[in-house]
Amino acid sequence: MEHRAVDQLQGVAEVTAQPLILSTRRARLERWAELLEQVPRRLFATLPEVELVPWPRRGTLRSDNSPLALAYADPLLRASGLSGDTYGEARRFFGLREGQVHRLLCSCVNGRHLRADLTARRLRGFASYRLERWTLGLAAGAATMPGLLFLFG
């Protein structure tokens, strides 16, 4: 087998790059945070008072200049399955719980605007949240087990 550079192969065969796919929740959240960190002082619009919107309509909330619009503009996130810039799509694609999306995007928590770097910091916290919480719960359970055995054993 002969090894050649990609530019050499283009003259011999049709070469297309396979798009990288972000398959894990953490990778998707990290990518979104990276995009926000590229413009750290940029201000984004929040979603107005999400908690007042009825559940059936809440998933369709969006804003033209939101952090979600920035994520949706990214070809890598779209290739990985991001299909829109709505509140509901953020929950689905990024694997966020209702409270997390609310804290991240709602005007009642953040005011009228979000700063990109602060939003990225929250996303990184969400990305590591599950593992840390599971580890903390396991440690707490292990620590209380001897006491429970003493009381009830």
Three state DSSP letters for the chain: CCCCCHHHHCCCCCCCCCCCCCCCHHHHHHHHHHHHHCCCCCEEECECCHHHCCHHHHCCCCCCCCHHHHHHCCHHHHHCCCCCCCHHHHHHHHCCCHHHHHHHHEHHHHCCEEEHHHHHHHHHHHHHHHHHHHHHHHHHHHHHHHHHHHHHC
- Read off the pLDDT of residues 38-48 as tens digits, 9 standing for 90 and up: 999 999 999 99
Tell me the whole-structure pTM to 2 decimals. 0.74
- Give me the residues of the chain with pLDDT under 50, please: 131-132
